[in-house]
């Protein structure tokens, strides 16, 4: 009986060992998967909300896509509006991570809410006219013609402030048929034929080559718009927000901005 029992125990041990081999192999695969998952998880993930001036609508769509491709753990969502409206949103506590305005004045008014800003680009004004420039507008002086329907941005909007500045320097009395909340609204009025002309940024006019023409304004009569970017102190993704703002000054981001017509900071 003892011999039989011993043989049975030996057989059981062999069977047990055979069963453990595939289990051990399976365990090794799981360990490798866990290790790989841990490695891919090393990339920090964040959902960033960036408040940006309306004139950045097209270029930031491309910049955001480029940034997400380079930083696969991060998603960037943009909210576009006039800079003055964005400032009001920040002061009201709207959840966001970074801010880019079309002027330094607006950003300077948010020192309690934003980090140290960095100018990422510059821009200039042009006169937007209907396609083919049917009213034959060639200079700022032409905008003073009472027969023309001219639309401008409201004076509290950066582009509206720049517009007033260039017209005042030339001592021109231009009476707009409407004052719009942002530069894209000005351009839209011209595109739709609701206005004969309007003052917009050069980069905005470039987004509608089939619907509007752009008349250049000489540098001596023009204004330079600066675009500062900064993180917001209420951001819940401070590190990721700072990384995005810093990236806007990199050669890759600057190339995207230059291609869209923005000038070097």
Q: What total of structural domains would you count in the chain?
A: 2
Flag whether 5 is in a domain.
no
**Is 230 inside a domain boundary?**
yes
Is the pLDDT assigned to residue 31 strictly greater than 60? no
Domain that holds residue 187: 124-221
Q: What is the CATH number of the domain that holds 50?
A: 3.40.190.10
Same domain, 168 and 233: no
Q: Do 217 and 130 reside in the same domain of the chain?
A: yes
CA 54, CA 3: separation in Å to the nearest integer? Answer: 90
Residue 23 in any domain: the answer is no
pTM value is 0.81
Proportion of the chain above pLDDT 90, given as a percent: 83
Tell which residue, 253, 265, 224, has the closest CA to residue 76.
253
The answer to whether residue 11 sits within a structural domain is no
Give Cα separations from 213 to 138, 194, 223, 263 (angstroms).
11, 15, 19, 20
* pLDDT value at residue 36: 34
Question: Does any domain span residue 12?
Answer: no
Task: Tell me: pLDDT of 27 over 50.
Answer: no
> What is the pLDDT confidence band of residue 40, given thresholds at 50, 70 and 90?
very low
pLDDT score of 45? 79
In a shared domain, residues 75 and 147: no
């Amino acid at each position: 009986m003892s011999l039989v029992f011993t043989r049975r125990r030996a057989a059981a041990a062999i069977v047990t060992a055979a069963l453990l081999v595939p289990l051990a192999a399976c365990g090794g695969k799981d360990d490798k998967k866990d290790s790989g998952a841990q490695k891919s998880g090393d990339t920090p993930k964040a959902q960033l909300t960036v408040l940006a001036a309306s004139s950045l609508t097209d270029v930031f769509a491309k910049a955001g896509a480029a940034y997400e491709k380079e930083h696969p753990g991060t998603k960037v969502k943009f909210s576009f509006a006039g800079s003055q409206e964005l400032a009001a949103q920040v002061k009201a506590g709207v959840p966001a991570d970074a801010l880019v305005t079309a002027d330094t004045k607006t950003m300077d008014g948010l020192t309690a809410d934003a980090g140290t800003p960095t100018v990422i680009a510059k821009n200039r004004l042009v006169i937007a006219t209907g396609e083919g420039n049917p009213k034959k507008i060639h200079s700022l002086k032409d905008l003073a013609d009472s027969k023309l329907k001219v639309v401008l941005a409201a004076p509290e909007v950066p582009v509206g402030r720049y517009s007033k500045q260039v017209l005042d320097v030339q001592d021109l009395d231009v009476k707009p048929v409407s004052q719009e909340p942002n530069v894209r609204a000005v351009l839209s009025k011209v595109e739709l034929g609701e206005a004969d002309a309007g003052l917009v940024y050069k980069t905005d006019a470039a987004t509608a080559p089939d619907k509007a023409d752009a008349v250049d304004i000489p540098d001596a009569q023009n204004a330079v718009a600066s675009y500062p970017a900064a993180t917001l102190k209420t951001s819940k993704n401070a590190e990721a927000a700072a990384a995005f703002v810093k990236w806007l000054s990199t050669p890759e981001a600057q190339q995207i901005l230059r291609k869209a017509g923005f000038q070097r900071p």
